[in-house]
Amino acid sequence: MNLANIKKAKKILDNNECVAIPTETVYGLAGNAYSNKACKKIFKLKKRPKSNPLIVHYHNIQNLKKDCIFNNDFIKLYKKFCPGPITFVLYLKKNSEISKFATNYKKTLAVRFPKHPITRKLLKKLDYPLAAPSANLSSKVSAVNSSDVRDDFGKKIKFILEGGKSSIGLESTIVDLRNKPKILRLGGLETSLIKKVLNKKVLINNNPLKISSPGQFKLHYSPGIPISLNARKIKKGEACLFINKTKEIRSNYYFLSKNGNLKEAARNLYSILRKIKKNKHKSIVVKKIPNKGLGKTINDRLIRASKF
Ligand code: TXA
Ligand code: MG
């Protein structure tokens, strides 16, 4: 682990500037969540609508105590899955110092405890939590490598904390725990595992055609070219995305996994979408992806990305 880089990131963040950070899901564009200045900058860099609140990242539950109200469901899920790819929507405490710009003046906060060791080391050194939406331009594909972040922001970001490729490759699963548990966004943690731990009904409010979480706008995760799903015909020059390797290899064929492994497919999804765009294909057709486990999250992202 490069401690000098972590020190450098801290110095920039202490000055209320932004730094891109690695997480196990996707890279985040981070700033001091207690600072209006830093949070405003995040919105500006991402070109993100002000109405779309930011996820705030903490090192551990202890640090969260002064900002949010806990309940039993939260404690159960925290013990089982944190640090990890799950985000909780909780009520903010009245005297919390979280920037009003981060929450868009809401009474709730989305919180996460990322697992990536470099970012955990950084969070441990800070005396504030980090607001960090995914480090991509608003409505576009998330970044799973430092080079993706550089492609989107160039020199506009002061520093990217290098952490290699994100191991999960899909954003966290968001669960609203204020009342009856409700999944607002499918993600890197399968909902069946969440249900098992809570041992009660968990609503899934994630219809891609309806907006549940403020940021779940119809078009999202878009590579910038049209995508069609479950298509049979492939037009000339069109990129074709498969879940596994096909017998026939063609220059416009792209494979999410060698043998249809859904974890591997999740890890590769965003890099391959970016690659297809770089290779100048004008559109993408997707061959059916199994709608189970992480396949559900992959399909969710592709459906949203297809609303081009
Ligand atoms: O894995 C992740 O969650 C990554 C990494 C960097 O942590 N972050 C991420 O952030 O995906 P972002 O901003 O791209 O997506 C966060 C989603 C948005 O759709 C936003 O609307 C929703 O979380 N959100 C934020 N605050 C919320 C709140 N108080 N209530 C409901 N949804 C909220
Ligand atoms: Mg995002």
As a whole number, the mean pLDDT across the chain is 94
Residues 184 and 243 in one domain: no
Mutation choice for ligand 1 from 27, 174, 218, 300, CB with most ligand atoms inside 8 A: 174
Which ligand 1 atom minimizes the distance to the CA of 114? 7
Apex CA 129: angle with CA 124 and CA 133, to 5°?
115
Residues 71 and 130 in one domain: yes
Pull the structure tokens for residue 48: 């993100």
Residues 300 and 156 in one domain: no
Confidence at 211, pLDDT banded by 50, 70, 90: low
Residues 179 and 236 in one domain: no
In a domain, 215, yes or no: no
Write down the pLDDT at residue 41: 98
pLDDT in tens, 230-277: 777 888 889 999 999 988 889 999 999 999 999 999 999 999 999 999
Residues 110 and 242 in one domain: no
* Mean of pLDDT values over 61-67: 96
In a domain, 221, yes or no: no
Write down the pLDDT at residue 139: 85
In a domain, 180, yes or no: yes
Write down the pLDDT at residue 220: 78
Alpha-carbon distance of 281 to 275, in angstroms, equals 9
Task: Please give the residue that has the higher pLDDT: either 131 or 221.
Answer: 131
In a domain, 220, yes or no: no
Residues 178 and 100 in one domain: yes
* Mean of pLDDT values over 1-13: 95
Mutation choice for ligand 1 from 213, 217, 222, 304, CB with most ligand atoms inside 8 A: 213
Write down the pLDDT at residue 213: 61
In a domain, 222, yes or no: no
Residues 64 and 173 in one domain: yes
Residues 76 and 170 in one domain: yes
Q: Read off the CATH number of the domain in which 15 is found.
A: 3.90.870.10
Q: Which domain holds residue 269?
A: 227-305
C-beta 213 within 6 A of ligand 1: yes
Question: In sequence order, what are the beta bridge partners of 254?
Answer: 241
Looking at 155, 189, 204, the residue that finishes a domain is: 204
* Mean of pLDDT values over 63-81: 97
* Mean of pLDDT values over 4-13: 98
The total of structural domains in the chain comes to: 2
Looking at 170, 204, 238, the residue that finishes a domain is: 204
Task: Please give the residue that has the higher pLDDT: either 307 or 136.
Answer: 136
83 upstream amide cis, omega within 30 of 0: yes
C-beta 132 within 6 A of ligand 1: yes
Residues 195 and 238 in one domain: no
Confidence at 134, pLDDT banded by 50, 70, 90: very high
Write down the pLDDT at residue 221: 82
**In 3D, which of 115, 104, 44 has the Cα closest to residue 82?**
115
In a domain, 269, yes or no: yes
Sign of CA dihedral 61, 175, 90, 99: positive
In a domain, 209, yes or no: no
Write down the pLDDT at residue 216: 57
Residue 144 pLDDT greater than 80, yes or no = yes
